[in-house]
Structure 1
Amino acid sequence: MTATIGKALDWWARTKPDTTAVVFSESEISYRALRDWSSRIARTLVEAKGVKPGDRVGLLGPNSLEWPVAAHGVLKSGGILVPLNSRYRPAELRKIADDAGISVVIVAPGFEQLAEDTAAIGESFTVVPYADLAALREGGADDFRVDRDPDEPAAIQFTSGSTGLSKGVILTNRTLMSIVFENTLTEEGFRPGTTTLLVLPLAFTPGLVYGLLITGVLGGTLVVEPELNPSNAVKLLEKHSVQAIFGVPLIFEAISRAPEFEDADLSSLKTAIVGGAAVPVPLLKRWAGKGVLLRQIYGMTEAGGVATATLREEALEFPDRCGTGSIFTDVKVFDDKGEVAAPGEEGELVVRGPSVTPGYWNDPDSTAQALRDGWLHSGDLGVADEEGRIKFVDRLKDLIISGGINISPVELEIAIGEIPGVQEVAVIAANDDRFGETPAAIVTASPEVDEKKIVEHCEKVLADFKVPRYVVIRQDPLPRLPSGKIAKTMIRDEYKDVDTRFARVR
């Protein structure tokens, strides 16, 4: 019998059946109920929907009680779980559906039309509404499970790539279990029975891996919020004696500004990890004043989410560092010769360890580029000190990270380039007080194109967080390199203060 998520769920259902597995708003579900309900979903997917081992099954919807149950059901059916961002538009979902070869999509209420519109512009897939899942909630004990080889894909997490569009990061049972194992071996890590608060989407890597899977394998309780509500988050931290929370700096900043924060008892909180953007020192100190040391991390979906995190005792002493790696995971800085850089020398951050993905789904070229000589090449720029503490410096890639969410400039450039009259476009990152970064589009276009037309088009084809908040229309051609490529570096330099020189368009 392989070490699988489903086997762990079955264990907790037998040994502590009445322990709460998931809390969502005023609803909750025990481990026994979670096992039985997800098993009935798995059985239905196999017997009624034709899901075979290795088939890709999408899950489309915001945070809910049904989402984690459905996710477990997909995994137990032998299918490969493909979480889908419910904020995407049909064209964006179509790209993922095609890349993954999705045959079935489980859809939350209110998103049926989005699923139908996506299916209508490409290869069709079977739509399973949440109503079908609700009908399976009641019933007798059920432990239906299709176990697969631990090195076969269990999930595909799509993430934006530096050269354009999303790439499917493969997560196997072995890599997922390695993440769980490595995160339980230190004092700062997760523990069996840990209660975790999740205010991020379950469909994102932190929600799926650190929320649903780690908490579930360890027999803990996952408290899921529909969305970030700072005051409610503080109340939940106290009410459930939450021991673990994670997110981008924006989340910790918002919670710390809630009126309830000052008098809250946060003594139960043992694991608090923050990443995705630079963490201001005042924010670290504000949480430290409550007895909570925020541990800054460096990671990526390809490395299981977290490759390295600051040790608790060094969190305030080294506020711009993110640790030296993990017990089994190495994080190094390579120079341009592919050798370990000297302390203080900037270079590319590379990762090696059991939590690293075996590759990208159906994309051997990207896999070969990222995984070389046993190392995952991040495309990020970093530096290490004499003790090996890593500091993230900048991205070698062009990704825009807005509130911890990756946005691919090329995807926006393609969308804007479709507008009649647009001659060329470059999308860069603009400073944003709330989200850290936000997209800015620099456009050369004919007179009939204005900022409103560009924004309206983007709103039709892109998720709202991708729509540029700054649009600069110019008559002069964009600068180019001798190769003919647009000179992004020159454009970034010219518009480095775009947020102060130009008005926001949305």
Structure 2
Amino acid sequence: MALTIGSAIEWWGRSQGDAPAFRFEDDTVDYRTLTNWTSRGARLLHDLGVDSGDRVGIVGANSMTWPVGALAALEAGAVLVPLNSRFTETELSKIADEAGLRAVLAAPSHEALVRRALPDPSVKTVSFDTLNSLRVGGDDDFRIDTTPESLIFVIFTSGSTGQPKGVKFTNRQVMDICFESSLREPAVHQGYSMLLALPLSFLPGMLNGVVMPIVFGGSTVIEHKFDPARALDRIERFSIEMACGVPLVYQEMAAAPTFRSADLSSLRSAIVGGAAVPIDLLHTWGDKGVALRQIYGMTEGGGVTTATTPADAFAHPDTCGFGSVFSEFRVVRDDDTDCAPGEPGEILIGGPAVTPGYWGDEVTTARAIRSGWLHTGDLGVVDGDGRLRFVDRLKDLIISGGINISPIEIESVIVNFDGVAEVSVIPVDDGRFGETPAAIVTGDVDVEELVRHCEMHLADFKVPRYVVLLDEPLPRLPTGKIAKARIRADFKDIPARFERVR
């Protein structure tokens, strides 16, 4: 056995074959079935020409087949590339080209999209229907061995400088994340249960919903989409011990009619991040015996670098803890010297969970990871007791419902629309998702046509909800760059002054 996810599947298949691994809707897959199903899937990919280190994409909404396909790709020795199911053809083509995909596992709803985006016949498309046909069959132990340092998946995440960047994860890195989580999280132990109502294609879905429970022989209840009343029912019915989400997830569960009567006593780790947590929400869940714990982290740092301890969840609700067992943070000045308590500076993170770098981008890797520390581009403050408080983003990312959106990616689509002279995309407040994109445009354009143009080339959550037309040039810095800070200040009250366009 080696330090791989496939080793864990095989072990639990032998030692607790009847135990549930995944639940979806009314379907349950036990470890014995999972072991053989993923091995047959890995053999199929190998027979199609997928070799060790080849990149295999996977696209589709949450389903039972998604994690099975993902694990089959890992057992084939491939590097998995989860793809957002809301990508347009343009976005999918860009990511596939950057990753150099050898094959794509696609839900029936996405097969036509994949074939249009990837017309090269050398890139194989494998339908989820084909994977489903492999669920039944004889025992199979096919698995391609990889090393602890082998890449196992690449998660593409939006950056502040343009198109999404591929964050690399190795076997050892992922196992270190799992081990550290077991020391930090009360819920993470052999056989624990996880509720996943988030998309599988993002890091929390892939890591917390698929990989980590498998390593510990646990089970994940996967939801097709988030429904607050149903989520409460699943927590109660399956004695869920761990859940994660943005504040909106917990707010909507708390507002559900069944929240007051729901038995949530099994929930030992409730992680929240992506936006500030309202104090009244902490108390609402605290009255049910559940401590919502705020985290700070990013994909490049393995998701969670530091989390508020259960003891501090109410006493220090605006902080994110003081690090983890092996993961550390610093808050530094421009010269990389440590800030004094209360002094704002850039957050740096370090430890075994930090990515070895960005896929195919040594320049960005060298710029981001220096002297063993990942420079996050985020602004934070450390209090006198060493707790971190997140202040703001030095980057221009928009975080909408916990999803990172690159303004430059949206700007690059809008600026190519006829009549647009200049554009700057900024975040504005949104009562439901925290932030939403707003486009400040100089030019002579039809707003409805512009929105339709964006919908053709961007996932729906990236399409601006506000478009402000100006008849004067955008303000600029002496260097010639657009003055983003001034634009954000001038238009911070867009929701009060302008109608939404969608």
What is the Cα deviation at residue 189 of structure 1?
4.7
What is the Cα deviation at residue 123 of structure 1?
8.3
Distance in 2 between residues matched to 1:218 and 1:282, nearest whole Å: 34
Partner SS for 2:243: strand
Distance in 1 between residues matched to 2:360 and 2:137, nearest whole Å: 39
Q: Which residue does 1:471 correspond to in 2? A: 467
Distance in 2 between residues matched to 1:363 and 1:123, nearest whole Å: 27
Partner SS for 1:295: strand
Distance in 2 between residues matched to 1:129 and 1:431, nearest whole Å: 40
Distance in 2 between residues matched to 1:118 and 1:285, nearest whole Å: 47
Q: Please tell me the residue identity of whatever aligns with 1:220.
A: G
Residue 256 (structure 2) aligned to one of 238, 258, 269: 258
Q: TM-score, normalised by structure 2?
A: 0.99
Question: Structure 1's 276 and 187: CA in aligned 2 closer, same or farther, altered over 3 A?
Answer: closer
Q: TM-score, normalised by structure 1?
A: 0.98
Q: Which residue does 2:247 correspond to in 1? A: 249
Q: Which residue does 2:19 correspond to in 1? A: 19
Q: Which residue does 2:28 correspond to in 1? A: 28
Q: Which residue does 2:9 correspond to in 1? A: 9
Partner SS for 2:376: strand
Distance in 2 between residues matched to 1:330 and 1:306, nearest whole Å: 11
Q: Deviations over 1:47-93 (max 9, x none)?
A: 2x100000000001010000010011000000000000010001111
Identity rate, percent: 53
Distance in 1 between residues matched to 2:55 and 2:476, nearest whole Å: 41
Q: Which residue does 1:115 correspond to in 2? A: 114
Q: Which residue does 1:496 correspond to in 2? A: 492
Question: Structure 1's 87 and 235: CA in aligned 2 closer, same or farther, altered over 3 A?
Answer: same
Distance in 1 between residues matched to 2:122 and 2:35, nearest whole Å: 30
Q: Which residue does 2:55 correspond to in 1? A: 56
Q: Please tell me the residue identity of whatever aligns with 1:353.
A: G
2:184 and 2:324 in contact (8 A); partners too = no
Q: Deviations over 1:455-492 (max 9, x none)?
A: 11101110000000000001000001111111101100
Distance in 2 between residues matched to 1:469 and 1:135, nearest whole Å: 42
What is the Cα deviation at residue 436 of structure 1?
0.2
What 5-or-longer segments of structure 1 have no aligned partner? none
Q: Does 1:373 align with 2:371?
A: yes
Distance in 1 between residues matched to 2:141 and 2:107, nearest whole Å: 24
Partner SS for 2:178: helix
Q: Which residue does 1:178 correspond to in 2? A: 176
Residue 294 (structure 2) aligned to one of 293, 296, 300: 296
Q: Which residue does 2:104 correspond to in 1? A: 105
1:400 and 1:439 in contact (8 A); partners too = yes
Q: Please tell me the residue identity of whatever aligns with 1:456.
A: R
Q: Which residue does 1:459 correspond to in 2? A: 455
Q: Which residue does 2:402 correspond to in 1? A: 404
Distance in 2 between residues matched to 1:430 and 1:254, nearest whole Å: 21
Q: Which residue does 1:70 correspond to in 2? A: 69
What does residue range 317-328 of structure 1 map to in structure 2 within 5 Å? 317-328=315-326
Q: Please tell me the residue identity of whatever aligns with 1:367.
A: T
Distance in 2 between residues matched to 1:165 and 1:230, nearest whole Å: 33
Q: Which residue does 1:329 correspond to in 2? A: 327
What 5-or-longer segments of structure 2 have no aligned partner? none
Q: Which residue does 1:79 correspond to in 2? A: 78
Q: Which residue does 1:352 correspond to in 2? A: 350
1:450 and 1:473 in contact (8 A); partners too = no
Out of 330-339 and 463-472, give the one that drifted further. 330-339
What is the Cα deviation at residue 187 of structure 1?
5.5
Q: Deviations over 1:161-215 (max 9, x none)?
A: 1101100000101110000000111353511111100000111100101111111
Distance in 2 between residues matched to 1:64 and 1:86, nearest whole Å: 12
2:3 and 2:147 in contact (8 A); partners too = no
Q: Does 1:41 align with 2:37?
A: no
Partner SS for 1:380: strand
Out of 17-26 and 449-458, give the one that drifted further. 449-458
What is the Cα deviation at residue 103 of structure 1?
1.1
What is the Cα deviation at residue 332 of structure 1?
1.3
Number of aligned residue pairs: 502
Distance in 2 between residues matched to 1:415 and 1:285, nearest whole Å: 43
Q: Please tell me the residue identity of whatever aligns with 2:110.
A: F
Distance in 2 between residues matched to 1:147 and 1:284, nearest whole Å: 45
Q: Which residue does 1:274 correspond to in 2? A: 272
Distance in 1 between residues matched to 2:464 and 2:14, nearest whole Å: 50
Distance in 1 between residues matched to 2:121 and 2:411, nearest whole Å: 25
Distance in 2 between residues matched to 1:100 and 1:322, nearest whole Å: 33
Distance in 1 between residues matched to 2:111 and 2:126, nearest whole Å: 9
1:188 and 1:312 in contact (8 A); partners too = no
Q: Please tell me the residue identity of whatever aligns with 2:211.
A: L
Q: Deviations over 1:312-349 (max 9, x none)?
A: 01001111100011000001111111011110000001
Q: Which residue does 2:150 correspond to in 1? A: 152
What does residue range 221-260 of structure 1 map to in structure 2 within 5 Å? 221-260=219-258
1:188 and 1:311 in contact (8 A); partners too = no
1:192 and 1:218 in contact (8 A); partners too = yes
